[in-house]
Every structure is written in structure tokens, then in C-alpha cells.
Chains A and B, each alone.
Chain A
Amino acid sequence: MIAELGHFALALALVLAIVQSVVPLYGASRGEPALMALGGSTAIGQFALVALAFVALAHAYVTSDFSLATVAENSHSSKPLLYKITGVWSNHEGSMVLWVLILTLFGAAVAWFGTGLPPDLRARVLAVQGMIGAGFFAFILFTSNPFLRLEPAPLDGRGMNPILQDLGLAIHPPFLYLGYVGFSVSFCFAVAALIEGRVDAAWARWVRPWTLAAWCALTIGIALGSWWAYYTLGWGGWWYWDPVENASFMPWLLGTALLHSAIVVEKRDALKTWTILLAIVTFALSLIGTFLVRSGVLTSVHAFAIDPARGAFILLLLIVAIGGPLILYAIRAPSLQGGGLFAPISREGALVLNNLLLTTGAATVFIGTLYPLFLDGMGGDKVSVGFPFFNRTFVPLMVPLLIAIPFGPLLGWKRGDLLAASQRLIFAAGAAIGLVLAVLLLVKPAAVLATLGLGLAAWIGTGSLVEWSERVQLFRAPLKDTLARARHLPRAAYGVTLAHLGVAVTVAGIAASAWESERIELVHPGDSVSIAGYDLRLDKVESVPGPNYTADRGTVTVTRQGAPVAVMHPEKRFFTVQQMPTTFTAINTDLLSDLYVVLADGDGKGAWTLRVYQKPLVPWIWLGCGVMALGGLASLSDRRWRVGAAVRRGRAAAGAAADD
């Protein structure tokens, strides 16, 4: 009964979405306030309905209602409660429900917080949001309905893929979707602006916070996914250039570009058409990303569902959602006049360079990800594109971008002074060169490229701090003045510094992976493996029961020159329902390096294969992503986005054509 209620709620949401995509648009073109205002009510109504459907589905999972096909396929009565709940979105149908839940959440948020928007812009934004919603509701109801019943109902479910039974992965999809779907708001704003034929600084000020929020969520989502791959797969890798990973990385790259180009629209009223295009393409790639993964067309280390029946619908949805706005763009973009002029060497120029490099980088990732698919579709050879391809294409494009990071914030708007900026960065250059020399002299074995990578990280890190210290006049003004300046510095400025620092931390973590060491050895209990100065003794392997698995649990004592460091417990788990083994790695971290132990197969005669890694600075990769997201949040909390501030500024901007 409850499931039918959820099903009905989804159907009603489809109807509301169709109403929302037509009526406010008509109202805006006719200037009818009542029709325009309808969009707000339907957006909130849609959210309530989808929330109801989601709760109904979660209820079916929690109570193990195996008469629902998706629950029977993906859940099991013996599964811990937490994974019964996260099981809702660990399969195709449920994850699409999560997708629309977040979509309607953002729609409702625009309705709630967008009261300061001009009513016609708000109506058009919500109408476009309604169109996306309608497409997705139809997709769910017609091809991926989670509420279909089984007759007769099986006694128990097939269980959930054991490697998905993990907290890190449980919260990874919601964050990823918050990011993907968050970009739908900038997309809707872009399409609404094209319909209106007007883009101004106020428009950019409304778009930026949504883009920032989506970008933060996507950054965290990608970091969580990478971290999960690192500790669950037992291969010690954290990024494989796997198509599924690329699918989330491309929107991130373009979202980062969008974040930066929207600054130019906001401050200088320039780069308008480009920003609109970026907003459209960013969301387009989010859609492509969702569907690439969901439709299972790509070969990947990830397991996929393959259902050709969904293919046609997906393709149609993509063509309409991407082609429509692009045609609109082609018609309307030439009429959007650019504003402020700027010299090539200027803040705007630096942001253009940032955008060019990020979009070209995203294009190479796109080619590498989709070329095998394209070739296969053309009836050509079956090929795969691995990490050497991306190392040779994407990385060379990112190096100049990373070098340019500290210059950007130091250049003035309109016309910058590169020489003056370089002089201020002498300290950062000194720090980078010093680090490179020190590492080359002290660290063995020598790894030149990785050392340069560390130098690059030091350059970005100190460069960002130099910019901050310039702003607060550190050591130049009396300390009291400096503190006062630091307090009054806008949060957005801290956001920039933090986000760029985060990049430096991540780059350092990536570069240092050149110094990792690995050992694979067959050991008997009592024997030791030595790695990077640590001795790991396998004390025993015993069989222990888990909630829905049994495990071989190793006890490994770690010492360094005789002094105890840690006791680690790697496991090999065997999930009884799925008859499937998984690896549970043991990781000991001090935030400067990780010890990573995997208990692999036994030889049946009492000896076990241990795979051991020592990985310097690897936690910094995810730490840096966290700092980046923190920077985004700091920026998001800036005074000028506060509810109310936007209203005042918005009206002022609507009155006078441009401000700032």
C-alpha cells in the first residue's frame, strides 16, 4: 500500500512538473503575476511529493518488502539497517529517485530563496527546472520504476553487492548528485537568460552561489569516491581514469571553469555568452555522466547493469536537454552584448586562461572516455584508453594552469601589472625552488618529475598565502592593523585563498605517490614483512563472524626499529548471501603517510599472502579536496550572498544597468 502511495506520488509529481514547465513560462511572456507565481508552488509541491515517494521506497527497504522487484533484487533481510537505508540508492531505480529528490530540492530552494529575483526570471528558471523534472519523472515511471511488484514475492532478497556495504560509499552518491543536480540551477538560469535575452551583473550574482554550492558538493563527492576506491578495492590506487570516474570529473572541471568565469560577469560584465555556454555544457556533462554510468555502455572496472531498453529514452532525453538549449544559444547569444574591455594581462585575462585550460583539459578527458565507445559504435576495433593516455594529455594541460594560479588574484582588473605580481611572488618562487633542491638532495630514490610536482605545490601554496598577506599588509603595517584587515577581509577572499591552498595540498599528495613502496609476500604467522623502515609481523589469522559475512581476520603488529607503532587488522570477508569474497584493508595513517595492509589468499597450508604499501602524503589528496570545498563554503557564506543582501543589490542592479 505504502509503495503504491509512493508510485502515485511520483506520477503526480510528473503532472506538476509538466504544469510547471508550461504555465510560468506563458505567464512570464504575458506578464501575468498569478501564472508566474504558480511556479513556486508547484516546485515546492513537487519536492513534497518526491520526498513522499522516497520515504515510501525507503520504508520498503527497511521493512524488507520483497514484493517490490528492486528490493528483492538489491536487499536482503540479514543486511544491517544502515545498508538497508543506503540500499535505496545503490541500484539504478533507487538512485534515479534520489536524483529527482535532489532536483526537486533545488527547485524548491530556488522557490524559497528566490523571492528577491525579478518575478519573470524566477518563473522562467522554475519552468526550465520543471522541464528537466518532467523528463526524469517520465524516465523513472516508464523505464526504471522502483515500485513495480513481484508476484509471487520471493521469501528473501538477492542481497546487495558486498563492496557497496560501506559507509564511505553510502554517502558518496548523495554528494555526487548534489553536485550534478546543483549545476541544473545554473543551467536553468542560463536558459532563462537566453529566453529573456538579458544577462547582467545581477544575474551572475544570483547564479554564483548555486554554482558554488554544487561545486563544493561535487568536490566532496569525487573525493569520497576516490577515497572509497582506495580503501575498498585493495589495489592501493585512488584514481584509475576509469570512465565512471571521468564521468564525474568532467562536470567538475567545467564547473570550476564556470565558477571562475561567473566572477568576470559579476565584477566586470564581460564574458557573458561564454559563461552561459559553460553553464549549459556543465550540466550537459552532468547528464551525460549520470547516464554513461547508469546505462552501462562503458567498459569499466565497475560493475554495470545493461538494459538496452533504456538506451533510446536516455538518448532522446540527452538530445532534447542539450540540443534545445544549444539551438536557443545559437539564436540568442549574438544579441547579448559584452561589457567591460580588458587587456590580455589582467585579472579577466587570467580567468580567461583558466577557462581555456580547464575546458581543453575537460575536452581531452571527454575524448579519452568516449573514443572507445565511438569506435565500437562505428564497428571498429575494441580498444580501451588507460591512464598513460590521460597522463600525456590532461597533465601537460594542467601544469600551466597550476603555475598560473598564484598570478591570477595578484593581477588587477582591466589592466594588470605582471612584473609587479612576479616581484611579489619572489618569495613563493624561492620556497618552491628551495623545496625542489632539498628533496633532490635528501630524498632517495630521486624522482625528478615528482619533485617538480612538490615544488609546484609549494609554489601554489605559498603563492596563495602571499596574496593573503598582501591583502592584510602582513609585516608591513602594525600587527593591530593587520589583524583588523584580516577580520574585515570578505569571506570570499578567504574562499579563494583556501581553495587554492587545497589545490596545493592535493597536488603535493599526488606528486608524492612516486615514492610509495609495495611488497607482496607469502608469510607464515610469526613472519615479518619489512617496508620503508617498518616491520610488519603477521601474528595470526583467525575466523570471525560478521553480521552478514564471515571473515578471516589477520592481526599484524607494526614496529619501527623495535618500537611499537600500531596493530592492524586486515580482513578477507566472505558474504554468505552473494557467495562473494571482499577485501577489507587495514590502513594506519598519521596524515603524513599511510601504511596499507591487505590480507590476500592463503595457500591452504597456513601461509597467507600479504600485500603491503607505504604511501607518503597520500591522505593529502583527499585532505586537499576537503580544503577546496571549505574554501567554496567560505565563499558561499560571504556577506553579499546573504538572503536580503541579494534582494537589495538585485533591485539596485535592476534600477541602474550596472554597478560595482
Chain B
Amino acid sequence: MIENLQGAFSLLTTWNVALTILICSVYGLFVGAVPGLTATMATALLVPFTFFMDPVPALVSIVSMSAMAIFAGDIPATLVRIPGTPSSAAYTEDAYELTKQGKAELALGTCVMASSIGGLFGALVLMTAAPLLAEVALKFTSFEYFWLAALGLSATVMIASTSPLKAGLALLVGLFFSTVGLDITLGYPRFTFGSTELLNGINFIPAMIGLFGVSEILRNMASAHLRLPTTDVRAQHIFRGVGKVLWKYRNHMMRSGPLGTFIGILPGAGADIAAWIAYAMARRFSREPEKFGKGVIEPIVGATTANNACLAGAWVPALVFGIPGDSITAILIGVLFMKGLRPGPEIFARQPELVYAVYISFLVANLLMVPFGYLAIRASSTMLRVPRNILMPAILMFCVVGSYAINNSDFDVGIMLATGILGYFFEANGIPVAPVVLGIVLGPILEQNFMVSMIKSDWDLTQFFTRPTAAILGVLTILIWIAPFLPAIVRRLRGGAAVA
């Protein structure tokens, strides 16, 4: 372990990795602080650059960028009542009300410190849970992997969305995209329409850039409010009084850290859901729940701890099983495949320095968040003045060139455009986009493990339940599917019993 830590440290302290952390931190802070740009979009736009990096800086860039972006979303939420990323939406009202009361400094200072603590907690869970789970995962066969993928997808649809039907449709679209190209059993071309470019399937990266980048640009350009409200709030002494607040509400942090990390581990649920649930939990345990939404610091402490803790949590299933915990780690898995690395328990044995580099980069990013966050808050009024009518065309240019750069192919630019239109249409009609991504990533895992299992069990479906772990995962998956119908079933059974 010590050797691996030393190896990871030496990798992280090279000038190019240190520079990557610095640049990506600034990039993350900017993206987070500008409303309309999300951390997932920023990750998708980062991917073309990671294509040219070694694996360690590629992963570290995603870690540092996403950690900073989730925190920075709190800045416009506090100053102009527009959450920078969806993860800050839960407590925007409270944060902005505090600004109106002249307590913007306290709100922002609390956000940066609680985010950092939440992120560090998530990182510690990642460091302890991931290796333990990897030991277990080494014994998994195609049956367990099939059920894991099915469980992840089911959780995405049934738990992490407001409309399971629409999330299910989005997932099916993603899974369908994953079937395009040569199939795994006979090498037969599916849905290629004679195109040689489609034989290798729909390229993940342009699809990602389209779904998260172009669709956001379309949404922003369709909005009448391309100019953001400006602020003249000068936040200089942001740490004054923060220690007292954090100590007073330490119980919220102690609950929200594990909660956020757990939600991160749950496939499909991201930092935004973690923040909403932590907010609801803070209200439940508060002595003054009636003040929530009217400018109190209490819910902010818990929710902002949870959304940053969630980020590291999402890396646990991504690294150990290759099952993404949120849309950022879905993109991460694409990056790992692009680098020729297969996420899963073997990565802990074969490339331990890579895993340790991820651990340390989470710690470093969350520690750097305090000074960098301070500087970002100082520069916030300038960042909020960046005109979006210049920013959006510039981002579109990055989307186009980034999609092209992966295979030097205009066809990929077309894929980006098509998925961008699809993502925009989906969002406008209440169909979430994240399940599409999870479908594209998990589709091959699901199909391959299903077909391998079927062939080796000679098409005997009962074999999917004969191994203990597979049986538990299978039952859990089925329970998730029937959970919405359980109350009705119980009512009917009780009614029947009463009649009897």
C-alpha cells in the first residue's frame, strides 16, 4: 500500500499533472459559476482533451474539475438566485435570502467549507470501500455482472427519476444506441444501414458531447435570458463565523456526508438528488423547519456537504464494477475504455497506482477547494459578467472540434449534432438525458454478460439464480421493478384477508 501511495504521489507531483489539476480546477470553477453550464457538460467537453493525455492526468482532470464545479454552482445561487449547476438548486432560495439579509459572505464561506468537508468524507469512503468491494468483485462471473448492470439500470429508472416511464424510454434509447455495430455473438452488423463508420458502433464521446453539450447550448439559446443579472456583492471575509456555523450544525454534516456518498454509489442518482434529499433530511431533523426556504444557513450546511460527498461515492461502482454512479462517471468509464483500461476489480491489481492517484486527487482537489473557492468567490462578479451570447457560440465550436478530434471524422460531428437535437427534445418533454448515457455505457456489459451466461448455461434461465450473489442481486433488481406496485399488492392482499 505504501509503495502504491508513493507511486501515486510521484505521478501526481510531476509538473504536467500538477498543471492539469490547476487548469482543470479553474475550468471547473468557471463552469460551475456560470449558470447554464453543468459539471456533466464540462466533463463531456473535457473528454477530447483527455484523449491526448496519459491515464493519470486524464482521470485527475475529471476529479478536480467536477469537484470544483459542484461547489462553484453555489456562487451564483447565493449571489443572483440562479444555481450554477443543478446540484445547488435545493438550497438556492435560502442562500439568496441570506444575501438579501447581508450575509452573503457567511453563506459562501459555509458553502466552500462544507463542500470541502463533504468531498473529503466521500474520498475517504472511496478509499476504504472500493478496495474491499474489489476483493468481492474478483469472484464475480457473467451472471453477477449481468445482474449488477441490470440493477444499476433499474435503479436509474425507478429510483433516480420523477417519471419512471419516461426514464425507461430514455434508457431504452441508450441501450438501442449500444446495439448499433457488429454484434458480439456472430459479428453480424446491426442497424448500420451499410455505413462503414457505424460498424464500430455509435462513438460514445461525440454522443456524450451532443447529449450534454449541444443540447445545453440549444436550451440556452432558446432561452430569452441570455444576459444574467449582475451582482456587486463584495465577499471578502468569507470565513468569518463559518467555524461556529459548522460546529453548530455538525450533526447535519455527519448525516449528509454518508447520505451523499451512498446516493453517489447508487447508479443513476447524482449530486443534485443528493442535495435535495439532504435538504429534506435537514428539515426533518431541524428544530425550526418552518424557517427553511426563508434564508437560514442550516439546510445549506447539510445539502452542500451531500452534493460534494456524492461525487466520490459515484466513483466506487464505476471503478470496482464498471457501473457508473452518475452521468460524470458514465463519461469517465468511456474515458477509461478510450485509454484501453477496463474498469473492474482487475484495475486494482493491475494498475494500483492509477487507483491511488484517483484517491489522492480527490483529497487534493477537496483541499484545494478552500483557497481556490475563496479566489473564485472574489472573482465571482467578473465571472457572472461573461456574456452568454458570446460564450454559447464559443462552446459550440469546442463541441464541434472536440467531436471531430477523437477519430478525425466529420461523421462523429454528425453524431454529435443528432444526439444534441435528441437531448434537447428529451429535456423539453420531461425525458431525462442521463439514462441515455447509462444505457450507452451499460448496454454492451448487459448484453455481453447476458448472452455469455445464456450460452454457457445452455439457455437455462434458472442458472441466473443458482449462485448466491447472483441470486441476491437478481432478487434486488426484481424488487426494484415491483416496488411501485407493492402498496397496491399489499392493499389487495389485506382486503382479501379481511373478506376471508
User: A and B, one complex?
Assistant: no
| A interface, CB within 8 angstroms of B | none
| B interface, CB within 8 angstroms of A | none
